[in-house]
Structure 1
Amino acid sequence: MEVTDFDVIVIGGGPSGCSAAWELRDRNILVLEKTHRLGGRLYSMSRGDYWLNLGGHLFPPAGSHMRNILHSIGLDVISIPGNKFAIYWGGKVYKPNAVSALPLTMSMTLRERFALAMRGLKILKAVKGWQEAMKPVIGENNQRRRARVASYLADESFRDFMGPLPKRLEALFQSAARRAAAEMEDQHAGVGVSLFGAVWAGKGDSMALNLNGGSGRFGEVMMEMLGDRVRYHTTVKSVKKVGDKVTVVFESEGREQTVTAAEVIVAVPAHFADQIVQDIPDDVRATLKNVQYGPFPTMGIITDETGPMPYDDIYAITTPDASFDMFFNHANPLRTGPRKPGGSLMVYSGGAPARAMLKLTDEEIRDRYLADVYKMFPELKGHVKETIVQRWEPGNTYRPAGFDFQPMLSYCERHDVNIHFAGDYFAEIGNMEIATGTGHEAARRARTHLMAQEAQQLKMRLAALTQRGTLSAVKEKA
């Protein structure tokens, strides 16, 4: 590298790091990414008329940070028309028009039906409270709003909130809760409620969009836009404040290199940030150490059927009776005209089943997943063209009951730091909007510091020029 000093160094090329880099694209920046690509868990591969999704795929509505970035880089979203609360139960897929109809349509005992109705009403009431908490408050910044939302029902676990359940309903709600990559007992009640709230929002559904071309297009276009400002296959060893600068040591292509910057944005998972950043208060380090992540394996499936399939009008299925927790039909948003042959599906596990699954080989994961896919939809036998298993370790982040994030919030509000943090762990559950929002905010703080430094330097130069001019005038008179 010829240049070793930068305005800002961004560590991590996921949605958070990309957001920060995009906000600072007019500055002298360097992005350090551990893998071969940008985008983090937004990962897909193009396959003809379809795309094979392997990670995050539900995009936020207009007005969000992510949508603003997508618009600025020329990417479009498409709506999801399909059912998002179908359930695979007792060997059958139930896909009611309204979630409130599930207790009436599913085959179950009277005790199970009553328990499902009661828990459904309890969650519905909590979802309304969560929706109220989500509303902006005048004068409140995004960081404080996130903190307030994250505190909703945060003092008890989702399991305690739900109470005792019949065995089959226990499996159903565990499977639904594993969208957070955690068991019900490991996530706080607000996390579990938010999972239901995001899907039950009706016309205001915050999870009703896909990225046209696949989620991976975000990272692919960012790679084109940022060009040689990104260094791939780099492993950051340390981030340390030295005088007015921050020194970053990283390893790339088998050799260690050192660069400096006026500001550094650390946009990697919390436990990695803890390992590399040397100059942070003890309570902030403890907060980073205590952030929780749940791993999850996903499998993308490309199919080659020539006619309609029974899941064409479904986008998501909760699957308590399968080796995976969720089944997604990523071709659903494309079924708006004559049905094209083939399709794209994805399944994944979260929580305890994910940890067990990740002990297997990719081939073993594939075989277990496909066996249950065929049980759900026997019509797929002979039509699976391609599968790819992706291991996400770490996976999604979630808050346990009683988690205290205040030390990090206080640190981010300080005006005397030039090492900034960003990531999806700034909320009760990780998602791309939290990641991009915190990346944007960290970049704005870095920009403010840079402008203040530049203003001070300009003031000093003007003072020096004024003094020089005064001296010259004195000499002339003499």
Structure 2
Amino acid sequence: MSDSCEVVVVGAGLSGLTAAYLLRDRDVVVLEADSQIGGRSQRTELGGWPTTTGGEGWYDPNPESPESRLLSELGIKTVPVPGTPLLHTSDGCSVELSTAEQLADDLGFSPEARPDFLRTFARVAETLDALSCPQTDELIGKLVSVTGIEWIGPVHDEVLAYYRRIAAVEMGVSLESDSAFSLLTGMPAFGGASEVWGDFLAVEGGAPVIGLAMAEQLPRPPVTGALVTAVEQKGQRVTVTYRHNGQDKTLDADHVVVATPHPITAQIVRRLSPTKAAAMDSVRVLPIVEVVLLLADGGPVPWDGFSAIWTIDKSFSVGLNSKTHQIVGAVGEQKHSVIKMIAVGPSAAPLADRTDDCIAEIFTNDFISIYPEARDKVREHSIRRWTHGIPAVAFGFDQHVGEMVNPVGNIHFAGDWCGFVDAANPAGAGVNGDWGGYGICGGLHPGVRAGLRVAAEIRGNNL
């Protein structure tokens, strides 16, 4: 490989690969530190059964969205996310997502607390609906200026305790110290996001198919096992230093896209200004621990019916039924289930010093406590940890977002931590108060849209 090219993309996750794909008519080199591409969504096998680790890639089916257009262009098929969302309560019951009135009954709110629960649930749903619409600058400004508990306001202690639990356990958010924006943009269906949940689509073949499809159309394949140690502007060019196959190497480019978690970005990009560093610091990163179980169940089982199960007093925050035989693909005639259990933020932190075997045992035992029928059906498991897991906004985020996404010379920033973009104006994402169409759900959205933005920035520079 030459030591010079037009564009270097650092990081072969969804954001970096989207940028590289959109710039594939240029001389593009993608460098990835991991042994495979995909970022936090990768292919794996359990007992010979194909599945994925990391993000499921569920997304909003709006056909005009950048995600839908990208998948259509790539020829990738999607299917509705099968199954029903459940909440496993602290008293051992599994509650289905339903109307707010039915949830109030199922969750056992007292007659005194019930009116406050219904009002709060409706208010959450209404606000989430407003956030999914374009031009929500004023609303976002209000939500990032108050804590979650200030936004919820005076409510019955039972309702406050409920929102405090789901915020902490599911999203790693504190009602007392984090913004209402953080609370609402990560809100589970059982907190008021029920209208959104039922519309998600999943990628046939699993989320890693997207990155693989884009990588196949690049002028040269991504370089895996390439650990970037420095990105530095030198005159009109940018020098990337990395280590590959035991050797230190350099690559000069007209433009560099850094599509890594922002703590890593801050380490490798040289001479960042204090304002840029402050902008990056306005995003927190929550750790993730994931255990994937392969269950050889051989027929109908109690867990067939759920798509996701949130838990309150278990080691994992949420369990996802990957429906492997429907989405990723069957192997022969034997039926298997793949259950992905995830601990986020405060749930993941206590597991940091535990061994993989210990974590697998804890998660598996908690799943069996919900579904005793799984006791003798676990055949294989895999464990992944992400120190730089899910990005979450902090106070002051709205004041820094313009600086956050602005390039430094010919160094451009991508990744889901800065994934704000207006589909009609990719270059105007989150700059000077223009938030564009910000969606409330994660999935593919922020990664794809950050990739769109940096590709537009580079093309705007007449590369």
TM-score using structure 1 length: 0.81
| Alignment partner of 1:191 out of 177, 182, 185 | 182
Which residue is 2:125 aligned to?
Answer: 127
Distance in 1, Cα, partners of 2:241 & 2:342: 36
1:212 aligns with 2:211: no
Equivalent residues, number:
435
1:439 aligns with 2:451: yes
Which residue is 2:427 aligned to?
Answer: none
Question: Relative to structure 1, is the Cα distance of residues 380 and 77 closer, same or farther in structure 2, using a 3 angstrom cutoff?
Answer: same
| Alignment partner of 2:414 out of 410, 422, 425 | 422
Question: How far off its partner does 1:76 sit?
Answer: 1.5
Distance in 1, Cα, partners of 2:194 & 2:13: 30
Q: Which moved more, 1:249-258 or 1:94-103?
A: 94-103
Q: Quick one: which amino acid aligns to residue 433 of structure 1?
A: H
Q: Which moved more, 1:350-359 or 1:190-199?
A: 190-199
Q: Which has the larger radius of gyration?
A: 1
Which residue is 1:297 aligned to?
Answer: 289
Distance in 1, Cα, partners of 2:305 & 2:392: 30
Answer whether contact 2:170 2:310 (CA < 8 A) is retained. no
1:277-324 C-alpha deviation (Å, 9 max, x unpaired): 124432012222342101010111111112222232221111112121
Structure 1: unaligned runs, 5 residues or longer: 138-144, 452-478
**What secondary structure, in the 3-state scheme, does the structure 2 residue paired with 1:321 have?**
coil
Structure 2: unaligned runs, 5 residues or longer: 328-332, 421-439
Distance in 2, Cα, partners of 1:422 & 1:249: 19
Question: How far off its partner does 1:231 sit?
Answer: 1.4
Q: Quick one: which amino acid aligns to residue 34 of structure 2?
A: T
Question: How far off its partner does 1:394 sit?
Answer: 0.9
Q: Quick one: which amino acid aligns to residue 284 of structure 2?
A: Q
Question: How far off its partner does 1:351 sit?
Answer: 2.0
Question: Relative to structure 1, is the Cα distance of residues 76 and 429 closer, same or farther in structure 2, using a 3 angstrom cutoff?
Answer: closer
Question: How far off its partner does 1:53 sit?
Answer: 3.6
Question: How far off its partner does 1:30 sit?
Answer: 0.8
Which residue is 2:94 aligned to?
Answer: 93
Question: How far off its partner does 1:102 sit?
Answer: 1.1
**What secondary structure, in the 3-state scheme, does the structure 2 residue paired with 1:271 have?**
helix
Distance in 1, Cα, partners of 2:325 & 2:189: 18
Q: Quick one: which amino acid aligns to residue 179 of structure 2?
A: H
1:64-463 matches, within 5 Å, as 64-106=65-107, 108=108, 110=110, 114-115=112-113, 117-137=115-135, 150-151=140-141, 153-162=143-152, 166=157, 170=161, 173-175=164-166, 177-185=168-176, 187-196=178-187, 205=197, 208-226=200-218, 228-331=220-323, 334=326, 341-400=335-394, 402-410=395-403, 412=405, 417-426=409-418, 431-451=443-463
Task: Name the Cα RMSD after superposition.
Answer: 3.1
1:317-361 C-alpha deviation (Å, 9 max, x unpaired): 1111212111222228939xxx97321111111222210012211
Answer whether contact 1:181 1:293 (CA < 8 A) is retained. no
Query: If each structure's helix is expressed as a fraction of its own residues, which one has the higher value?
Result: 1
Which residue is 1:472 aligned to?
Answer: none
Answer whether contact 2:113 2:159 (CA < 8 A) is retained. no
Question: Relative to structure 1, is the Cα distance of residues 380 and 85 closer, same or farther in structure 2, using a 3 angstrom cutoff?
Answer: closer
Which residue is 1:471 aligned to?
Answer: none
TM-score using structure 2 length: 0.84
Question: Relative to structure 1, is the Cα distance of residues 194 and 285 closer, same or farther in structure 2, using a 3 angstrom cutoff?
Answer: closer
Question: How far off its partner does 1:421 sit?
Answer: 0.8
Which residue is 1:59 aligned to?
Answer: 59
Which residue is 2:31 aligned to?
Answer: 32
Which residue is 1:41 aligned to?
Answer: 40
Question: Relative to structure 1, is the Cα distance of residues 92 and 129 closer, same or farther in structure 2, using a 3 angstrom cutoff?
Answer: closer
**What secondary structure, in the 3-state scheme, does the structure 1 residue paired with 2:384 have?**
strand
Which residue is 2:16 aligned to?
Answer: 17
Distance in 2, Cα, partners of 1:120 & 1:43: 40
Distance in 2, Cα, partners of 1:50 & 1:186: 43
Name the % identity: 24
Q: Quick one: which amino acid aligns to residue 385 of structure 2?
A: R
Question: How far off its partner does 1:18 sit?
Answer: 0.8
Q: Quick one: which amino acid aligns to residue 241 of structure 1?
A: Q
1:109-138 C-alpha deviation (Å, 9 max, x unpaired): 62xx6436524422421331332232124x
Answer whether contact 1:82 1:332 (CA < 8 A) is retained. no
